[in-house]
Amino acid sequence: MSDDKLVEIHQSDWTKLRDLYAHRDTDPQGYPCINNFINWVEKDPDLKVKFYSLNGDWEKDGTFVLTFDLGIPTKHLYFNTLSDNLERVTKGLECLTFVNGEFNFFGFCSRLKPIVEHINKKFYSTNELAIVETVWYGASKELIDTFTIELPSGITLLNLAVEDAETINEIWPHKGPGSINFVRLLIRQNTCLGAYDDSGKLVAWCLRLPIGSLGLLQVLESHKRLGLGSLLVKSMAKKISALGDQVTAPVVTANTASRNMFEKIGFRPIDTTYWAG
């Protein structure tokens, strides 16, 4: 029987862990992800965010496992390692208890996919994880600096309000039990923009995910073909870039229309990312 165990990383060491990943600024579970949760907990110390290391050893290779409990049926699970050898981070995940679909593997890169496939085979034999593939896009600061923002007549861009969460969650293709709490959290904690018409109705929006990327981009059917998707992507990209952060975005591989839009703007694929739950 293995003596391996997960040991919690004290909050005072989170910034040290983050800085180990300074060169991994486009890795979906690298610097942006760690930095996001540091910022979230600083804003709201009651958030149930836990960083763990295998046997208390994280400083050499940055191996960590992060769980986030939003109080909904599934917890978010994030993990990474700076080592080319995935054995330690795999052992770390094996220390968790996988029962009743307790975890949602949130936006992991292609390098880490074999680990999730291993966990799936070992712990989910009777109820396999559903894995969604997305193209991971990036945009350079030089490109973003060229973006111009021209609003269509009758449209105003504003920061989203928490009250907008119901509208957003209602037509989110990936909504589930309790997902509205996740949407509310993103609006409260991160940069998020909405496009509103003359009557004040929310007609399009774009949020920022815990991994630092754009997400939940949506335009109401009544306002499509007005360029609102591109407008929101460019506006969000400029806001995120102004914070000194890399701009990234996952787009479901099968969603060719959305992929074409991102590529027309100038975003380029840099990896494949996956979501499993």
Res. 246: pLDDT tops 60? yes
The separation between CA 187 and the C-alpha centre of its own chain, rounded to angstroms, equals 13
pTM comes to 0.94
Residue 69, pLDDT score: 94
**Residue 124: pLDDT band with limits 50, 70, 90:** confident
**Tokens 């102004």 map to which residue?**
242
Alpha carbon separation from 45 to 29, 38, 41, 49, 50 (Å, rounded): 21, 10, 5, 9, 12
Residue 100, pLDDT score: 64
| CA nearest to 193, candidates 221, 219, 172, 154 | 219
Res. 277: pLDDT tops 90? no
Residue 101, pLDDT score: 65
The 10s digit of each residue's pLDDT in 28-73 is 999 999 999 999 999 999 999 999 999 999 999 999 999 999 887 7
The structural domains of the chain, ordered by start, are 6-129 (3.40.630.30), 139-271 (3.40.630.30)
Rounded CA-CA distance 257/63 in Å is 37
The 10s digit of each residue's pLDDT in 136-180 is 999 999 999 999 999 999 999 999 999 999 999 999 998 888 899
For the chain, give the percent of residues with pLDDT over 90.
90
